[in-house]
Amino acid sequence: MSEALIERLVKFAESGNQQKIVLNGQTHQGWIMEITEDALLISTGFADKTGKDIWIKFTDLPQAELSYWDTQTDQWAHFQI
């Protein structure tokens, strides 16, 4: 994947104190833990018992809606790749 896309995803991972990805009707809310050459890992939930790690491929991102929790406004802010 392009370096520019990876840089944008790093910026997304560093935005706010949580990230949210809505893809195919499913909402994944948590923290971006890893970014590889072709996917990102989002960790959801607050504990090992309720949380899961989900890999999302870059090829799926055009259909996804990305947002992050903006602590200054206390609301979800849209993030454009």
Average pLDDT over residues 30-52: 85
- State how many domains the chain has: 1
CATH of the domain at 64: 2.30.30.100
Q: What is the pLDDT of residues 18-38, one digit of tens each?
A: 999 999 999 999 999 999 989
Specify if 78 maps to a domain: no
77, 70 contact by CB (below 8 A): yes
Q: For residue 77, tell me if it sits in a domain.
A: no
Q: What is the pTM of this model?
A: 0.88
CA neighbor of 54 nearest in space, from 68, 42, 38: 42
Domain carrying residue 9:
3-72
The pLDDT of residue 1:
62
- Kindly report the backbone phi and psi dihedral angles of residue 12, in degrees, each rounded to the nearest multiple of 5, phi listed first: -60, -45
Residues 11-22 have a mean pLDDT of 94
